[in-house]
């Protein structure tokens, strides 16, 4: 296929725009940026990067739970673990009765406090960023029934 000089000059610009768009799509889905970045740098084409971003978005959507659904789960089954990953001072100010506090930044070193990897665990924090990180930590460590409720305000 023969291409003219204008097309050769525009192609890199188009590729960069598509790559930026792919990253932005991942940001708006709430997906963790670290895996997106890793997949994009490993991707051999923009189309492959877009496909990987969509797959990550699908995975994160599967673990999202509404406050209403979380409340229903805990009312129906008293073995469901409500995991608060905020700081101690936030927990002291307001918490959900029966929830367990393990701040997200110490979660990996305290996984032994959640020994049943098949237990249903609903993770939450103040706004949703830390709960998403904590859910990823749990899933990457073999926990199989992890749900991210996001903000504690979703409970009420």
Q: Which residues are catalytic?
A: 125
Dihedrals phi, psi of 22, to nearest 5 degrees: -60, -45
Residue with tokens 């998403």: 132
Q: How far is CA 69 from the centre of its chain?
A: 18
Distances in Å between the Cα of 72 and the Cα atoms of 5, 27, 75, 131 are 62, 30, 5, 19
Q: Give burial (CB, 10 Å; 0-12/13-18/19+) of 19.
A: middle
Task: For residue 104, give both structure tokens.
Answer: 């997200």
Q: How many other CB atoms sit within 10 Å of the CB of residue 145?
A: 16
Across the chain, which distance is largest between two alpha carbons, in Å? 68
């Amino acid at each position: 296929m023969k291409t003219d000089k204008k097309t050769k000059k525009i192609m890199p610009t188009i590729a960069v725009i598509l790559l930026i768009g792919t990253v932005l799509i991942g940001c708006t889905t709430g997906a963790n940026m670290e895996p997106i970045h890793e997949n994009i740098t490993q991707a051999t084409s923009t189309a492959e990067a877009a496909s990987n971003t969509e797959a990550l978005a699908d995975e994160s959507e599967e673990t999202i739970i509404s406050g209403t659904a979380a409340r229903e789960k805990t009312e129906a089954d008293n073995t469901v673990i409500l995991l608060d990953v905020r700081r101690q001072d936030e927990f002291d100010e307001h918490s959900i009765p029966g929830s367990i506090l393990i701040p997200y930044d110490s979660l990996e070193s305290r996984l032994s406090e959640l020994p049943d990897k098949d237990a249903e665990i609903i993770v939450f924090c103040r706004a949703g960023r830390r709960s998403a990180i904590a859910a990823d930590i749990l899933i990457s460590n073999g926990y199989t029934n992890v749900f991210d409720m996001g903000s504690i305000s979703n409970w009420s």
